[in-house]
Amino acid sequence: MTLVNSKSQYTIVTIDDHPLFRKGVTDLIEMESSLMLVGEAANAKDGLELVMLMQPDIVLLDINMKGQSGIELLKEIKSQDIDSRVLMLTVSDNDNDVLKALRCGADGYLLKDMEPEDILRNLQLAASGKFVISPQLTQMLVVAIKDDDVPSSAGKAGLTEREQQILDLIAVGLSNKVIASELGISEGTVKVHVKHLLKKLRLHSRVEAAVWALNRH
């Protein structure tokens, strides 16, 4: 586990058991002055300690690591009282991996075979509070949530005006924190509304809700 004590506008920690890939991420982040890598770890144990210590703006997390998986580490990070946004950065485009990560609270899902400039652009979007996902995975999500049990419209789901308003903001990729700021309400209130609208839509994650909303438009 290595640490860097510098700080910048947006701080990043990367957790991946491939040293060459971590080196590539470091080189990529150094190309953008608004991003700063403040630490890296090669396993889940060191990764969690690093995230708790640095509390970065963004955590880049691989899924398939030796020992504890990235999904399990994602759950642990999300159970902590920190605001770090966790982006899965992995080679896996497996439907189960994608859905499991998003349903466990991942704030984005990017594939390692993306062009470097696209990864950098998505990091900047994520840092600004938006959800990011590799384009080829969006259609998979559309198919995954096509279920007879899912309401066909917001009206049939019984969404309130406020829930519809929040759903529209989720659909453009905004985080709860940003939505709260946009609407002038607390983040806790946003979380309650999100919980209710997910239950009404019979969906498991805000990302599925975003895809559902965009697909209806």
For the chain, list the domains and their CATH numbers. 2-142 (3.40.50.2300), 145-216 (1.10.10.10)
- Torsion over CA of 60, 66, 69 and 74, rounded to 10 degrees? -30
The tens digit of pLDDT for each residue in 96-121 reads 899 899 888 898 999 999 999 999 99
Predicted confidence (pLDDT) at residue 84 exceeds the cutoff of 50? yes
- Position 7 scores a pLDDT of 43
Angle at 124 between CA 41 and CA 173, to 5 degrees: 105
* pLDDT tops 90 at residue 176: no
Give pLDDT tens digits for 26-52. 999 999 999 999 999 999 999 999 999
Q: pTM score, two decimals?
A: 0.78
37 vs 5: CA distance, rounded Å: 10
Q: Which position has the higher pLDDT, 64 or 145?
A: 64
Residue bearing the bigger pLDDT, 135 or 35 = 35
Burial of 44 (0-12, 13-18, 19+ CB in 10 A): buried
What average pLDDT does the structure give for the chain?
A: 88
pLDDT at 5: 45
What percent of the chain has a predicted confidence (pLDDT) above 90? 58
